[in-house]
């Protein structure tokens, strides 16, 4: 008796096809209510502008949609699964109450142009968040309009530009340390400035002597991340501000790393003129698989007149409203008022913490990073021995002797159940391993992470080829990125069309 056993090699949920491949004519997932006005004929109303058909848009049923996206979701790793120590990204826990309050009907269905009279609650949220972020940063004024960190950078540098222009000369250059994130130089270019690189010193900080030599009347601003991307606090921050201010230049702070500072120190107190915050990092709004974010820009009094229009004000009758009459404003950087849904979530986060909670959060974030640093010292090369704040940057120097790079170690970490750290950034560290645990990790998960990283270091010594082939436990193995870039396939096409090309 030779009964053939039929068995799927992997669970069907691991082989979900593209939506288009699920589609067949006549399936549907919607039902519109009956039309309560007379039907119209599109051809009559639109003439030549009427559309004939919708090409290959999918036709599927509701249950298939639920299964499709649910299956896809299970192929992701997320903060909800475990530690996601992606340096510079602050992958902290995203509180559920934030999601609930952001979806309250009165807020979720508010039209941006609805009368101010019925928008008092939304305006109150904008005002309260503004006030609390001003207090947290120690600045004087703020705009919530920018949609992400890089957008905040652009807004901030345009503020600098508008201010300098009002003094008669916008100047030509922006100084950017070699450790900076790529958005900084890209932003300076968008704001019409030339970028001049600033070298770090042996401790990984701004070299004051180089700064003094480079700052002159052509320099509009220095864009500085503090703590910088090595996780190092710029100890001479006040000196840096003085050098700039003495020559009429301003200090811009990239606030991506505010999770190291909230409740412990304030950029406004240590000489920063303008900065952005990433609500999707420091203030727990979810990263959403790549966005949306929100990048408020806080500034000192001298820059306030130039903030994007509109701003929220209390009107003479005591109600809140938008002020559009801002003659010196740099203009608008986004339609409406910014990513309001993220503003709600950030405010809910601040409320849930209060002053004690925010301080404890910062302390725990810094504690975790230092604990991991201590645990991995020796096993991995630590290029900068300067004290660490909320993140620590090792390198693959030891492992690369065996031909194993930071990217390989990252892939192997996946097998241990962790999301990898940030690979190959900052550029000042060759083979960077940038670890930011955040406060959301318990002692146990930090211990497990350290153990995993140490095990991998041993594997590199004993079985480097095993690390090179990682990950081993995922649905798919390493993907051919070169092929993807060389012959880009950026959309689905029906087989007949795809073959014809």
Partner 1 sequence: MRYLPKSESDREVMLRQIGVKSIDDLFAAIPPEYRLKGDLKIPRAYAESEIVEFFRDCATGSAQGYATFLGAGAYSHYRPVVIDSLVSRGEFFTAYTPYQPEIAQGTLQSIFEFQSMICELTGMDVANASMYDGSTGAAEALMMAARLTGRHKSVVATSVHPEYREVIATYARYQGMPISTVAYGKNGRVDLDALEKGIDNETAGVLIQSPNFFGTIEDVAAIADLVHKKGALLIVSIAEAVSLGIVKPPVEADIVSMEAQSFGVPLGFGGPYCGVMATKDKFVRQMPGRLVGQTLDRNGKRGFVLTLSTREQHIRREKATSNICTNQALVALMCSIFMTVYGREGLKDLAKQNLAKAHYAAGEFKKAGATLLFDGAPRFNEFVILTKTDPYAINDKLLGQRIIGGFPLKKFYPDLGNASLWCCTETTAKASIDAAAKEVAL
Q: Binders of partner 1 among 224-283, rule CB under 8 A?
A: 232-233, 235, 237-238, 261-266, 269-270, 278, 280
Residue 212 within binding range of partner 1, rule CB under 8 A: no
* Cis peptide bond upstream of 227, omega within 30: yes
Question: Which of the choices partner 1, ligand PLP, none does residue 256 contact, using the CB cut-off of 5 to 8 A by kind?
Answer: ligand PLP
Shortest separation between residue 137's beta carbon and partner 1, angstroms: 10
Residue 463 within binding range of partner 1, rule CB under 8 A: no
Q: Which of 293, 308, 431, 437 binds ligand PLP (CB under 6 A)?
A: 293
Q: Binders of ligand PLP among 232-271, rule CB under 6 A?
A: 254, 256
Beta strands of 155-210 (E only): which ranges? 173-177, 194-198
Interatomic CA distance for residues 405 and 423, integer angstroms: 9
Output 280 or 402, the one with its CB closest to ligand PLP: 280
**Residue span 361-390 as binding mask against partner 1, x where in contact by CB under 8 A, dash where not:** x-xx-xxx-xx--xx----------xx-x-
* Token pair for 192: 């019409």
Q: Which of 1, 5, 8, 57 binds partner 1 (CB under 8 A)?
A: 57
Output 225 or 353, the one with its CB closest to ligand PLP: 225
* Cis peptide bond upstream of 169, omega within 30: no
Residue 153 within binding range of partner 1, rule CB under 8 A: yes
CB 185 within 8 Å of CB 426: no
Residue 181 within binding range of ligand PLP, rule CB under 6 A: yes
* Tokens 């090179």 belong to residue: 468
Output 4 or 312, the one with its CB closest to partner 1: 312
Shortest separation between residue 403's beta carbon and ligand PLP, angstroms: 29
Output 163 or 425, the one with its CB closest to ligand PLP: 425
Q: Rounded to 5 degrees, what are φ and ψ at 206?
A: -60, 135
Residue 481 within binding range of partner 1, rule CB under 8 A: yes
Output 133 or 456, the one with its CB closest to ligand PLP: 133
Residue 150 within binding range of ligand PLP, rule CB under 6 A: yes
**Residue span 420-439 as binding mask against partner 1, x where in contact by CB under 8 A, dash where not:** x--x-x-------------x
Output 84 or 416, the one with its CB closest to ligand PLP: 84
> Residue 189: enclosing H or E segment and its boundaries?
helix 183-190
How far CA 114 is from CA of 118, 122, 311, 407, 441, in Å, comes to 7, 11, 16, 50, 42
> Residue 365: enclosing H or E segment and its boundaries?
helix 340-376
Shortest separation between residue 482's beta carbon and partner 1, angstroms: 9
* Cis peptide bond upstream of 455, omega within 30: no
Shortest separation between residue 175's beta carbon and partner 1, angstroms: 13
Question: Which of the choices ligand PLP, partner 1, none does residue 201 contact, using the CB cut-off of 5 to 8 A by kind?
Answer: none
Question: Which of the choices ligand PLP, partner 1, none does residue 254 contact, using the CB cut-off of 5 to 8 A by kind?
Answer: ligand PLP
Question: Which of 272, 276, 284, 313 lies closest to 147 in space, CA to CA?
Answer: 276
Interatomic CA distance for residues 240 and 271, integer angstroms: 8
CB 456 within 8 Å of CB 409: yes
**Residue span 310-349 as binding mask against partner 1, x where in contact by CB under 8 A, dash where not:** --------------------xxxxxxxxxxxxx-x---x-
Interatomic CA distance for residues 345 and 28, integer angstroms: 35
CB 172 within 8 Å of CB 160: no
* Token pair for 28: 């549907």
Q: Give the pairing type, strands 250-255 and 392-395.
A: unpaired
Interatomic CA distance for residues 203 and 49, integer angstroms: 64
**Residue span 110-139 as binding mask against partner 1, x where in contact by CB under 8 A, dash where not:** xxxxxx-xxxxxx-xx------x--xx---
Binding site for ligand PLP (CB under 6 A): 88, 148-150, 181, 183, 225, 229, 254, 256, 278, 293, 295
């Amino acid at each position: 008796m030779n009964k053939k056993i039929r068995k799927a090699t992997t669970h069907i949920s691991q082989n979900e096809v593209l939506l288009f491949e699920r589609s067949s004519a006549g399936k549907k997932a919607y039902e519109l209510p009956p039309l309560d006005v007379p039907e119209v004929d599109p051809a009559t109303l639109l003439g030549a502008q009427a559309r004939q058909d919708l090409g290959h848009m999918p036709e599927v049923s509701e249950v298939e949609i639920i299964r499709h996206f649910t299956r896809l979701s299970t192929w992701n790793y997320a903060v909800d699964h475990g530690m996601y120590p992606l340096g510079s990204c602050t992958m902290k826990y995203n509180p559920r109450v934030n999601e609930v309050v952001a979806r309250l009907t009165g807020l979720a269905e508010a039209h941006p142009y609805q009368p101010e009279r019925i928008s008092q609650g939304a305006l109150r949220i904008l005002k309260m968040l503004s006030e609390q972020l001003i207090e947290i940063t120690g600045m004087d004024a703020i705009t919530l309009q920018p949609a992400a960190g890089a957008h905040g950078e652009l807004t901030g540098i345009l503020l600098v530009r508008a201010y300098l222009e009002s003094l008669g000369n916008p100047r030509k250059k922006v100084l950017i340390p070699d450790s900076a994130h790529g958005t900084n130089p890209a932003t300076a270019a968008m704001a019409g400035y030339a970028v001049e690189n600033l070298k770090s010193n042996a401790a990984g900080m701004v070299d004051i002597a180089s700064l003094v030599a480079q700052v002159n009347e052509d320099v509009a601003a220095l864009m500085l991340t503090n703590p910088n991307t090595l996780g190092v606090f710029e100890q001479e921050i006040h000196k840096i501000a003085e050098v700039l201010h003495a020559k009429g230049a301003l200090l811009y702070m990239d606030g991506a790393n505010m999770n190291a500072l909230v409740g412990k120190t304030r950029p406004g107190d240590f000489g920063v003129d303008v900065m952005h915050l990433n609500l999707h990092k420091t203030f727990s709004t979810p990263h959403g698989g790549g966005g949306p974010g929100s990048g408020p820009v806080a500034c000192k009094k001298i820059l306030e007149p130039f903030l994007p229009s509109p701003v929220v004000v209390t009107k003479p009758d005591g109600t809140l409203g938008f002020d559009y009459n801002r003659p010196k404003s740099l203009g608008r950087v986004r339609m409406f008022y910014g990513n309001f849904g993220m503003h709600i979530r950030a405010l809910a986060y601040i409320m849930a913490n209060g002053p004690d909670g925010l301080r404890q959060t910062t302390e725990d974030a810094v504690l975790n990073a230092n604990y991991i640093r201590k645990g991995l010292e020796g096993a991995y090369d630590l290029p900068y021995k300067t004290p660490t704040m909320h993140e620590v940057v090792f390198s693959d120097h030891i492992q690369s002797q065996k031909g194993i790079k930071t990217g390989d170690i990252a892939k192997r970490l996946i097998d241990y159940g962790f999301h990898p750290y940030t690979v190959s950034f900052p550029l000042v560290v060759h083979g960077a391993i940038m670890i930011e645990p955040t406060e959301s990790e318990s002692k146990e998960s930090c211990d497990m992470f350290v153990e995993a990283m140490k095990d991998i270091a041993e594997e590199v010594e004993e079985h480097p080829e095993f690390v090179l082939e990682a990950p081993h436990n995922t649905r798919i193995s390493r993907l051919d990125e070169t092929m993807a870039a060389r012959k880009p396939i950026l959309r689905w096409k029906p087989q007949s069309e795809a073959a014809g090309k």
